[in-house]
Amino acid sequence: MARQTRSRARFVPGWRYTLFCFVPIGFLVWVWSVDAFGDRGVKNVVSAFGVTLSGLAWFGWFVLRSRWPARVRYGALVAGILLVVGFFCVARFEGVTGSMVPSFSWRWLPEAIPDLAVPESAEESLVDLHVTSPTDFPGFLGARRDLTVRGVRLDRDWVAHPPELIWKQPIGQGWSAFAIVNGVAVTQEQRGAKELVSAYELETGELLWMHAEGARKDHPAGGVGPRSTPLIDEGRVFALGATGILVCLDGSDGSLIWRKELTTEFGITPELEAELCDYGRSNSPLVVGNDVIVPVGGGVPERMAGLVAYDKAGGTPRWKGPPRRLSQASPGFARLAETDQVLIVNEDSVSGHDPDYGTLLWEHAWPGRTSSDANCSQARAIPPDRVLVSKGFGRGAALLRLSPVVEDPNGALGVDVLWATRRSLRTKFTNVVVSAGYVYALSDGILECVELETGRRVWKAGRYGHGQLLLVEDLLLLITEEGELLLIEASPDRRNHVLGRIAALEGKTWNNLALSGDLLAVRNASEAAVYRLKTR
C-alpha cells in the first residue's frame, strides 16, 4: 500500500493543490462565458495570464513538491528556462493586434515592418493646395470629419469592375491616414529618427515634398511613428506629431511657417507625458475660422488645457480651454441646439466648447484612462441637437441630447441621455458612420448595425478585426486589420452583405481610408497604395 501511495504521489498532487491549480482555468471559463470585460483584447490578456499562472502552478509542484528524482525535476527546470531564453534569442517580438494577440518572427528574417531611411529631397514640383474641389478629402475622416463621402456613386459590381491598382510602394511607419486636396495626398510617417510630413502625387505616388522633425515615438503595443492625420486648409498643412510637435507648413513646398512644442509650452515633462499619454498623441488638428485647435492635456491644472487654439496664420495663441486630461480622440466642429461648438472627447468626459473663446458649453462624463482604456473614438454630431459617443473596452455607446439652459447668460447647454448600452458599438480604434437612421461600426472587430433612435442592435456579423470604415452613399468601404478591402451594403435589412473584396495591403492595418473622387488612398505601417474604383 505504501509503495502504491508513493508511486501515485509522483504523478498526482493532493486535492487541495489540484484545486488551486485549476482556479485560473475556472476563472478563464468565467471570463469567456459572461463577457466580463466587454473587450476581446482584455479577454486575451486575462486568458494568457490565467493559462500561464495555471501552468506555472503545475510546474512548480512538479519541481518543488513531487517525488520524482531530483535529476528529473531540476533537469526539467533547467530545460524550461533554456527553452524560454532560447525562444527569445531566436524570435523577435513584432507587436500585437488590436485584440492584443502578440506576433513574433525569426530574428534572421527581415523585420515585418522595416525602418525605412529618410528619402532624398524631392525635386522641385509645382504643388498648389489652394485649389479645392467638392471631392477633396482634406483631413481626418473627411471634409466634415464624419467618415462620409458625398457626391460619389460607386459601382456595386466588383466582379465585373474590380478596383484597379494605380500604384503601391513602401512608406514609413505610422498610423496616420492621407489628406487629399487637388490631387496631392499628404500623410505623416516615421523614418529612422525623423518624423515626416510628406506629400505624394495621388496619381503616381511620386514624393513631392517632405518636412522632417527630430522626433520618434515607439510603443510595444502601439507601434512606431505618428498617429494623427494632417489637415489641409487654404494652401497650408497642419500636422501634430506623436510627441506633441505641432507644425504649420506651406503646402506648396513643405517649408515651415510656424512650429509649437505642446509639451514644452504647457510644462509637460517626458516622464509625465509617458504616464499620461503612453501610446503617443493621435489628435488630428481642427481648423475653425482663423484658428487651428488641438487638445493638449497636462498634469498641473494651472498649465493644463483640454483644448488650445492658435491663430492659423502665425501661430499666436488665441485661447485656452478648461483643464482636462488628454484622450486619443480629435476635436470636431458642429452646430447643435442652435449653437456652434467644438466637440471633444477628453480622457474621462465629452464636452462642447465655444469656438471663439474655448469656454465650456456642456460636459458629460465618459470614463476612460488614456494609458489603459483610452477614449479613441470621435464624438459624432447628429443634428439638430444630438451627440453619439462610443468606445471600446466594454463601455459601448450613448446618445446624448443637448438643449439650451433657460436664462443662462453664458449660453450653457443641458445634457440628457436618450439611451446607453454597453453591448453595442464598442468602437475601440474606430469610428461610427450614420446612414438613413442607422449606425454602422466595427464593434470589437465585428461589423454591427444599430438603430440610431433606440440603440437597438439590428444585426452583428463579420469578423474583420480592428480595421476602418468609410461610408460612400449607401455603401461601406471596409478595410480589415489584415489589409483586405471590402465593399458592403449599408442596409439594416441585409446582414453583412458583401458585394466585393480584394487584398489591398499586406500587414496590420489600423489607418483610416481616404477617397477623393474615384481614387482610394490606403496605407498601413509599411506600405501605401492607391486604387481606382469604378463609379456610376
- pLDDT, one tens digit per residue, over 519-535 is 999 999 999 999 999 99
Domain-embedded: residue 21 = yes
Q: Give mean pLDDT, residues 50-75.
A: 85
Which pLDDT does position 7 carry in this prediction? 52
Domain-embedded: residue 477 = no
Which pLDDT does position 2 carry in this prediction? 47
Domain-embedded: residue 37 = yes
> 56 pLDDT exceeds 90?
no
Domain-embedded: residue 85 = yes
Q: Give mean pLDDT, residues 307-318.
A: 97
Domain-embedded: residue 117 = no
Q: What percent of the chain has pLDDT over 70?
A: 97
Amino acid at 503: A
**C-alpha cell recorded at residue 331:** 476635436
Domain-embedded: residue 13 = yes
Q: What is the separation, in whole angstroms, between the first and last Cα of the chain?
A: 85
Which pLDDT does position 10 carry in this prediction? 65
Which pLDDT does position 8 carry in this prediction? 55
Which of 11-33 are b and which e, b meaning 16 or more Cβ less than 10 Å from the residue's Cβ? eebeeeeeeebeebeebbeebee
Domain-embedded: residue 390 = no
pLDDT tens digits, one per residue of 419-445? 999 999 999 999 999 999 999 999 999
Beta strand ranges found along 277-412 (DSSP E): 286-288, 291-297, 305-311, 317-320, 332-336, 339-345, 349-353, 360-365, 380-382, 386-391, 396-404
Domain-embedded: residue 49 = yes
Q: Give mean pLDDT, residues 201-228.
A: 95
Q: How many domains does the chain have?
A: 1
Which pLDDT does position 390 carry in this prediction? 97
Who has greater pLDDT, 378 or 3? 378
> 138 pLDDT exceeds 90?
yes
Which pLDDT does position 380 carry in this prediction? 97
- Note down the domain range covering 44: 2-106
pLDDT tens digits, one per residue of 225-278? 999 999 999 999 999 999 999 999 999 999 999 999 999 999 999 999 988 889
> 1 pLDDT exceeds 90?
no
CA distances, 109 to each of 90, 104, 482 (Å): 10, 11, 20
Helix (H/G/I), strand (E/B), else coil: 27: helix
Which pLDDT does position 344 carry in this prediction? 98
pLDDT tens digits, one per residue of 370-405? 888 899 999 999 999 999 999 999 899 999 999 998
**Chain Cα centroid distance, residue 283:** 10
Who has greater pLDDT, 431 or 13? 431
Burial degree of 316 (CB within 10 A; 0-12, 13-18, 19+): exposed
